[in-house]
Amino acid sequence: MNAPENFSYVIYGLRLVSDRPIPGLIPIESKQPAPPDLSVRFNSDKADAAQERSAEEALWYTTDILDAQGNPALKIWKGKNGGEYSIRYSHGLTFLVNAGLTAVAIRHDEPMPAEDIAAFLLGPVLGIILRLRGVTCLHASAVTVGGKAVAFVGTAGAGKSTTAALFAQRGHAVLSDDIVTLLEREDSFYVSPAYPFLNLWPDSLAMLSVAPSALLPEYPNEEKRRLALEAGHSKFQREALPLAAIYLLGDRSADPGAPFVAGLAPQDCLIGLVANTYGNRLLDSAMRAEEFSVLGRLAKMLPVRRVVAHEDAAQLLRLYEVISEDVARILGSSRA
């Protein structure tokens, strides 16, 4: 029999190989003899299901987000012996992850579009795997300014993706959306590229006056739309870049002085970063201690600012100008 075809990608700094094309990712040619960082197998066979049922598992994590029936939308089970993870969504989608965090097998109870599966794989599932691998991740989006990465950090609905799209419309490449990896190299932190689109709510698309032609086809069960970064004036940054600054997005304000950028005391910088790490509820005490150490070094090394945007969408251009001017000052002072 012929060997299964492999499709290679790079995402979040991981070299990923899949037995099927993954919607939304840009394939790469890979002739490397070394094994990939992560292999993905769609529609794992009945043997996987039997193995899952027979394995002794313990409930390891339950989300506080509920589905339409009032049940937890996500539960993660962990094998008591081998340490495998079973990431199960309440609508029947399961990701089986081996103990070494190097292989993912995907199962679903009912037929499911590949786009729906990819939405979970490229976002929360890879986010979980990165955290379990010890990679510190911010709940953030990142763009390029002056050859460096700039991150917009915040809780859900804070405007991370909207701000990244605002910069993309003005010619800045986008590195990542929703998850920003922090990879420490010598005296810098680097951000790795994710996928070549931004996930935006319909009201954000209206605020930004995004043309329908700039959007990728809709995912069947997703309310958000995907703004393509390989078309029009938007661009996708395919190489990792050093992080130059972090902007914490706060509540929008009707203050006549908004939008504005304000400095933060060192302690407030660290508190803001700790509060906005991705998947922090997954960590054990040792992992939390390491994360705190990483973020402490980050807060001392890089400027962390607070951003207050105006609640009036007409002020979006001014928001871009305010942040851009602040980044220019930071980059100028670093070269001095």
Domain chopping of the chain, boundaries: 7-132, 136-335
Dump pLDDT digits (tens) for 254-294.
Answer: 999 999 999 998 889 999 999 999 998 889 899 999 999 99
| Element of type H or E holding 61 | strand 57-62
Asked if pLDDT for residue 31 goes beyond 70, the answer is: no
Q: Residues with Cβ < 8 Å from 278, sequence gap 6 or more?
A: 127, 131, 137, 138, 139, 140, 178, 179, 180
CB 152 within 8 Å of CB 209: no
7 three-class SS: strand
Three-class secondary structure of residue 239 per DSSP: coil
And the tokens for 130? 């990165």
Amino acid, single-letter form, for residue 115? E
Reported CATH class of domain 136-335: alpha beta
Percent of the chain clearing pLDDT 70 (strictly above): 92
Distance of alpha carbon 143 from alpha carbon 82, whole angstroms: 39
pLDDT tens digits for 36-65?
A: 999 999 976 543 544 454 458 899 999 999
Instruction: Measure the CA–CA gap between 167 and 142, rounded to whole angstroms.
Output: 10
Q: Report d(CA 194, CA 118) in Å as an integer.
A: 13
Report phi then psi at 119, rounded to 5: -60, -40
The more confident residue out of 131 and 220 is 131
pLDDT reported for residue 333: 80
Q: CA nearest 188: which of 160, 149, 152, 153?
A: 149
